[in-house]
Amino acid sequence: MLFFNKGIKSSKLKKKQSLKTAVMTAFAASALVFSSMSASAAGTFKLTTVYHVYHDQQYIGTVSDKVVVEKIVEEKAAEFKEATKDLNVEFGSDIEYIKEQVFHSTANDTKTVQDLESVIQLQAEASSIIIEGKPVVFLENKDRAEEVMNKLKLTYVTQAQLDELETRKTAQSAQLPPLKENETRILDVRASKNVSFDLEKVSPDKIMSVEEAVTFLQKGTLEEKKYVVQQGDVLGTIANNHGLKLNEFLALNPGLKEDTVVKVGQEVNVTALKPYLEIIVDKEENKKEPIAFANETVDDANMPKGETKIQQEGKNGERSVNYRVSTLNGTTISSEITSEVVLTQPVNHIVVKGTKVIPSRGTGNLAWPTVGGYISSKQGYRWGKNHKGIDIARPSDRTIKAADNGKVVSAGYDGGYGNKVVIDHQNGLRTVYAHLSSISVSVGQTVSQGSAIGIMGTTGDSTGIHLHFEVYKNGALQNPLNYVHQ
């Protein structure tokens, strides 16, 4: 249905008084001139009727007939009606006519119509979504506005969950049945701010589709601004130059991480999203969760130190837990346990640890083999060949110590190693000590952890005074730094 104003509206009485005053003054002046003429002279003149056109009290022009204006108004309304289909469109401003009889017509229909077209306004009746008292978006009707709110909710819950919630509210049942295993029950879905609807008359170009309104309320904009990466750009500077914190910038670009290197010409989002509405979901959830088993250690004085055995394998228990959870746009903002039932108790993992010290058997924990010092060379490829151990130099005391209890299986000079000692710790581990200036143990001797076995030197292939230290496990070379720490 189309509405438009063809004449002077009675509601504009005050506005018209000033217009009438001006026109009456003009008429009075014309009457004075006319009365001064003789009757015979007056009879020689023919009076013409014109209409002065005013739009919202502003003079637009003069036409020869009101039909000229009414036609253009109707054409405009029909044209827009065709484009907007179901919208109720009306003329959104006042057109007023002042009739006058003149001796010579001053009407200019063409120019008046052109000037009127430039200021004419059409309005459509729309349903507004009002947030905290302020209209934010306009929809074709209330059904569309309610559809927008429903789609916002469906971003975070299903239609079935909404239907179930509505059914419970209608039934007004205070008692809810117990949750089933792994069940989620929606308790409430609501907007984060006060929302209401109203009817308003607005310019039709302000009316959005349902999809546009949903996007606008979620993001605060219909179009996200893009930035094309330039030479020398890094993520931090791009974010800073667009008034964003780095975490905000990364949230706008899910494919990027803090250490991502962007390429020249790459497009990134730089629009700081400021949603008008967020959706809060209150729900209760049932989850089955494991109860972690505890580790227990039992000492056994009859078992050699360094040995362990599992007395009982650990096994997780299980519990059924009910949570009360609130989310804001899908992000959990609160979670509390409302009830809990233990389904199965956990079984402790029990390990028996030997405490009996056997002088010739190692504990498994290797001690630092020198008195202080620093690592001058690590294990790895060096000087065209593999360096099998670590080099320790500049100790505060040159005494070399056994890394653990064990038996000496080698003690003497060995080519590039120089003076070398090898200790078998009787637990799968062997340690090698090379480049000693002197050796103070012999083959077959039992040594205890920390006891002196020689003095640091530079025998064999050595560029300076240091200890070359190697570790083997079951015959396989190991990285000593996985066993010893300074």
| SS3 per-residue string spanning 358-407 | CCCCCCCCCCCCEECCEEEECCEEECCEEECCEEEECCCEEEEECCCCEE
Whether CATH 3.40.190.290 fits 370-482: no
The label of the residue with tokens 């295993």 reads 181
Residues of the chain with CATH 2.20.230.10: 279-356
User: Distance between CA 326 and CA 449 in Å, rounded?
Assistant: 59
Burial class (CB in 10 A: 0-12, 13-18, 19+), 403: buried
CB 239 within 8 A of CB 246: yes
> Across the beta sheet with 308-312, what order do the strands follow?
295-304, 349-356, 308-312
pLDDT by position in tens, the chain (length 486): 233 333 333 333 333 434 443 343 334 334 333 444 444 444 556 899 999 999 888 999 999 999 988 888 788 777 766 655 556 655 556 788 999 999 889 899 999 888 887 777 777 889 999 999 999 999 999 999 999 999 999 999 999 999 999 988 888 766 788 999 999 999 999 999 999 999 998 888 889 999 999 999 998 876 678 899 999 899 988 999 988 888 888 988 888 998 888 899 999 988 777 889 999 999 999 999 999 999 999 999 999 887 899 999 999 999 999 999 999 999 999 999 999 999 999 999 999 999 888 888 998 899 999 999 999 999 998 888 899 999 999 999 999 999 999 999 999 999 999 999 999 999 999 999 999 999 999 999 999 999 999 999 999 999 899 999 999 999 999 999 999 987
Residues of the chain with CATH 2.70.70.10: 370-482
User: Distance between CA 372 and CA 379 in Å, rounded?
Assistant: 19
Identity of residue 448: S
**CATH superfamily, domain at 279-356:** Resuscitation-promoting factor rpfb. (2.20.230.10)
User: Distance between CA 12 and CA 397 in Å, rounded?
Assistant: 108
b (16+ CB within 10 A) / e for 349-359: bbebebeeebe
Burial class (CB in 10 A: 0-12, 13-18, 19+), 10: exposed
pTM: 0.54
